[in-house]
Structure 1
Amino acid sequence: MTMKSVLLGAAAAIASIGTAQAADLPLTKGEAVEYVKVCSAFGPGFFYIPGSDTCLKIGGEIRADYRVFGGSKAYKFSRDDNRSAFNTQARIWFDARTQTDWGLLRSYFQINADSHKISDTHTYNSNTFSIDKAFIQFGGLTAGYAHSFFGFYDNDYGDTIWAPYYAESNTVNLIAYTAQFGGGFSATLSVEDGRDHRQDKLFNDQGGQQVPDVVGQLRFDQEWGAVAVQGAGHQFRTNGQFADDFGRNRNKYGWAVGGSGLIKLPFIDGGHFVVEGQYANGALDYLGIGNTQIGGQDFFVDNRGQFKGGKGWSIVAELGGNITPQLNANLVGSYIDTKYDNVAGGLGGGKLTVKELTVAANLAYTVVKGLTISAEAAYTRSDNGDGFDNGKTGSDHVAVEKGKGNIWQGGVRLKRVF
């Protein structure tokens, strides 16, 4: 036997062994590797951050807005005002949750970016970025930049597209604790940054903050709806420009109280009627006065040099629901009435008033899941008195009524949520 024959025989034996072993292997495809593990504990869209027990949900939204404006009397549009305006806004948010032995640990962050920021008929800086929310929750504790705990209409409903309404609508820096008592009862105590609740658009003469705002709410939630009562305390202070006739600056405390009610309408999918009203003295942010055409001021000095807070009340109501599975409708009405009696500035003083009524209606049609087209029309009636000296004397001295008129707006929004 030659060496060549030996090598050929060995190769054939090895080949036959390999074939026999291959015949014993199962003929299956490789199993798919799950690189992201789904977290079902907190609803759809959450996944586990690799290497941790924290669930994360990332979401986003694109809004394309197209609006037109009109008005009369005081709101005759000048060449500086827009009769039409477009804006595109992008939103992105991160919601991280971990279940611990002490309760749920959650952190939430949302940032918004606008191509052209629009407020009423004016367009502000282009390409603006803003923090919408940034807070931590642990059990009943909430800390960070979150919606004020005064009321619940704006945070839970507030279903207008652009139209203003008059209720607490600020995101503020706060630290709060909510206690759950069972049976739907809960109570919240919140310490909130008073600078986020200031209203000083008219004079801009507030002093530095000493004491933060204190907000409390009692709430009762049931299947039929919810009710709540809330209150707030707010310090307002003069700076050097508002010292009285004796050169003294003043510290005073304003307050606000309100009530909210929700009735769910079971005969309409998502049907609801919600109403919220409030009264304030020296704490007008809680009325939503910052959403009015003229804005407002927490305090003023009267014609006797006394340091006082502005007073007023506001109310908002909304009726809404799904007409069909694809078509949603909302009707919103809101009114605010504030006054500053005997404002300094002329013989006998004057009465500065801020009164507005807004009515808005909108429809939203879901084209496909995640894509909606909405349309809204709104009307605002303003009756805002100047209150300062108009150059007349004696019995002819009356408040000048600047800002008395109306404004309307309409538009369309395309929104994609993902």
Structure 2
Amino acid sequence: AGFYYIPGTDTCIKLGGYLRAEVALGTNSVYTGNTSGVAGAKNRLSNYYTARARQDLNIDTRTATEYGVVRTFFDATFSWTTGSYSGSGTTAYSGAAPVANGSDGAVAGGAVGVYYAFIQFAGFTMGKAVSQFSAPWTNYPGNNFDGLVGGGGTVTGVNQFTYTADFG
């Protein structure tokens, strides 16, 4: 369910993701009000808002072969936050510390992150995925932290080459 069969092949594909936008008014950073520094001046030389956006894209493919199903999965994000305008001086306030840049303000900041990128075939998982040691009863459903690197409490996975078998 949710997959699109690619005509002429044995491959199905599923595209997903989300787009999130946030605007904070009365601030020149995301978590702090504009009460000090350039932002505290509340004049034409400072911003009165901060905007953020995050886009997530995931691609899941399944291909039937003579030896079983080959699965590929990719999940990446792009995050962007507005810069902070600090007037005609030589210092732009971006984040927690001032940054000298000799312009009218700090540029917006963007970041690209790959959460998961793996291939699965015949019990093998190769790439960046959630740890095979992640227990299903920990973290969000159980409201406790497992503390394992790459476990269910992480969203960015861990690099691995693993083999799993079902002795069911």
User: Normalising by the residue count of structure 2, what TM-score does the alignment of the two structures yield?
Assistant: 0.57
Q: What residue is the counterpart of 2:59 in the other structure?
A: 94
Q: 1:69 and 1:128, CA in 2 relative to 1: closer, same or farther beyond 3 A?
A: closer
Change (3 A) 1:173 1:181: same
Residue 115 of structure 2 corresponds to which residue in structure 1?
Answer: 132
Q: 1:69 & 1:59 partners in 2: Cα distance?
A: 29
- Answer 1 or 2: which has greater helix percent: 1
Structure 1 residue runs without a partner (length 5+): 1-42, 71-76, 160-164, 183-418
Equivalent position of 1:57 in the other structure: 14
Cα distance in 2, alignment partners of residues 90 and 167 from structure 1: 27
Provide Cα deviations, 1:336-374, integer angstroms capped at 9, x if missing partner. xxxxxxxxxxxxxxxxxxxxxxxxxxxxxxxxxxxxxxx
For 1:137 and 1:93, the matched residues in 2 are separated by 16
Contact 2:139/2:146, CA 8 A, preserved across alignment: no
What is the Cα deviation at residue 111 of structure 1?
1.7
2:165 alignment partner AA:
A
Checking the alignment, whether the CA contact within 8 Å between 1:143 and 1:176 is kept in structure 2 is: yes
Larger Rg: 1
Task: Provide the aligned length of Structure 1 versus Structure 2.
Answer: 119
For the 8 Å contact 1:116–1:128, the answer to whether it is kept is no
Q: Give how far 1:85 is off.
A: 5.5
The answer (yes or no) to whether the contact 2:128–2:160 under 8 Å persists in 1 is yes
RMSD: 3.5
The answer to whether 1:173 aligns with 2:159 is: yes
What displacement does 1:50 show? 2.9
> Which SS does the other structure have where 2:164 is aligned?
strand
- Per residue, is there more strand in 1 or in 2? 1
* Separation in structure 2 between the aligned mates of residue 65 and residue 97 of structure 1, nearest angstrom: 35
Please give the alpha-carbon distance, in whole angstroms, between the structure 2 residues aligned to 1:132 and 1:113: 11
Structure 2 counterpart of 1:178, one-letter code: T
Please state whether the residue corresponding to 1:150 is helix, strand or coil. Answer: coil
Q: 1:181 to 1:86 in 2, by over 3 A?
A: farther
- For the structure 1 residues 52 and 128, does the alpha-carbon distance in structure 2 shift closer, same or farther, using more than 3 Å as the test? same
User: Per-residue deviation at 1:55?
Assistant: 0.5
Higher RCO by CA contacts (8 Å cutoff, separation 6 or greater): 2
CA distance in 2, matches of 1:157, 1:64: 26
Distance 1:116 1:166, change over 3 A: farther
Structure 1 residues 126 and 158, CA gap change in structure 2 (3 angstroms): farther
Identity of aligned residues (%): 34
Q: What SS does the aligned partner of 1:94 have?
A: strand
Distance 1:79 1:149 in 2: 48
Please give the per-residue CA displacement for 1:361-389, whole angstroms capped at 9, x wherever unaligned.
xxxxxxxxxxxxxxxxxxxxxxxxxxxxx
SS of the equivalent of 2:18 reads strand
TM-score relative to the length of structure 1: 0.25
